[in-house]
Amino acid sequence: MSAQALAQFGLKHVAKGVGRLATDVIESGSGSYVTMVGGRRMLDFTCGIGVTNLGHCHPAVTKAAQSQVGKLVHGQINIAFQKSYLNLVEALLPMMPHKSLDTFFFWNSGAEAVEAAVKLARHAKRKQNIIVMQGSYHGRTFGTMAMTRSKTIYGQNFGPLMPGVFSVPFPYCAQCSIAAKSEKRYSFEKCCMDPVLQLELLLKRETAPSDTAAIFIEPVLGEGGYVPPPSRYLRRVRQICDENNILLVADEVQSGFGRTGKMFAIEHWGVRPDILIMAKGIANGFPLSAIVSRKELMDMQPPGSMGGTYAGNAVSCAAGVAVAKAFEDERILENVNARGAELKGMLRSSSLNADTARLIHDVRGLGLMLALECRPGHGYASKIQAKCMEKDLLVLTTSIHDTIRFIPPLNITKEDMAKGIAIIEDAIKDVAMGEDPIETGSKGQALE
């Protein structure tokens, strides 16, 4: 079939509920690039929504998976231990943000891992309620729909959803009404900390600490806009958890595995989570997720209460071991911080440039988890995205606010980053000059 015929076949036979950026067909990927069936080669600043963090078809990861396929594909965890599973645990232990995180359970997807964390928290604390952040994304399974608060599309008309979920504001300083009216008294650097007050009020008004098992938080808000919190916030949440016998669960599905310049984003603030959730970059594209906690909590669950047919697949685990080794061998985090500074520098320059500043409301992020929030009401983000696509660069919008997120490979070369920066800068200028894109962007489709 031709590229156009394949796309039409997909539109006819793939569930309409799947949103997508473009109706093109990817044939292959290598490093920082994907190639479409028709031969078009595009620089990929989406990484499969933060999954192929080491680029497409990383040689060491590919080799490890190929080798494992010839040994054991499926070693079901309820039958016996399998070697690559244990090898991955061994590889991950030194990477954990706190030494108390020493006992693992592997599953397939991020949403499944979130639900595993809910099970662990409720069982360990013998309490039902959980608290999530407004703007958070935790998944689209039945349980995680109730926890996701980034857009209504994820849970609309699927109710009733899982009960016992409460939400509070995340410290999104660029959208804070208190800061906006404070005549610059409050800002990201000098947060009003109203979200902490709202959390304390929630525990007094709606879900008592004696009924609350855990607080789930993305250390950097993901689908809600790539929003890092101000410096004091997570430490204060940790304190509230300790004072009220509540578990702190860090959902690092998108922010983990080097995306922010540290192996896990929560390391930026030196906060210890009781449970850490991982997925996406853990195996560079092979389906794998995990939760890790302290043995004291994990051992409270009776044998048989956790499991899954494909949980901790042998090939995915072998790929995960190769990913962990690549981080050390290739000095990935150094590259993240160097390339991230280059991209963020251009975005900040655009926000100060007389020709483009009127488009831009905020520039933010850590490492290579960066966002450009545009001024509302004009659809600037989707227009910039579409202009980037015209110039053979894939980027994604996100959030209910007009925001573009940048998720390039963590090992992207200086040359490819310079190419991407030039395209993005030109796209911003094109939109500022009033040029309408030829291609259409995602226009707010529910991607993730």
The predicted structure's pLDDT at residue 448: 59
Q: Ramachandran region of residue 374, left (φ > 0), alpha (ψ -120 to 50) or beta?
A: beta
Cα dihedral 17, 22, 25, 31 sign? negative
The predicted structure's pLDDT at residue 300: 97
At 203, which amino acid appears? L
DSSP string, 354-414: TTTGGGEEEEEEETTEEEEEEPTTS-HHHHHHHHHHHTTEE-EEETTTTEEEE---TT--H
The predicted structure's pLDDT at residue 446: 46
Distance, C-alpha 209 to centroid of its chain: 28
Taking CB atoms within 8 Å and a gap of at least 24, the contacts of 72-79 are 72/314, 73/313, 73/314, 73/315, 74/310, 74/313, 74/314, 75/314, 76/309, 77/106, 77/307, 77/308, 77/311, 77/312, 78/304, 78/307
Q: How far apart are CA 264 and CA 8, in angstroms?
A: 40
The list of the chain residues with pLDDT below 70 reads: 439-448
3-class SS of residue 277: strand
* pTM summary value: 0.95
Mean pLDDT, the chain, whole residue set: 95
The predicted structure's pLDDT at residue 447: 58
Q: How far apart are CA 116 and CA 118, in angstroms?
A: 5
**How is residue 156 annotated by DSSP?**
T
Residues 396 and 382: beta-carbon distance below 8 Å: no
With CA atoms as reference, report the closest residue to 49 among 20, 23, 27.
20
Contacts of 5 (CB under 8 A, 6+ apart): none
Beta-bridge partners for 441: none
Please report how many Cα atoms fall inside a 13 Å half-sphere around the Cα of residue 195, on the Cβ side: 27
Residues 402 and 374: beta-carbon distance below 8 Å: yes
Pairing mode, if any, of strands 275-278 and 247-251? parallel
Q: How far apart are CA 414 and CA 103, in angstroms?
A: 38
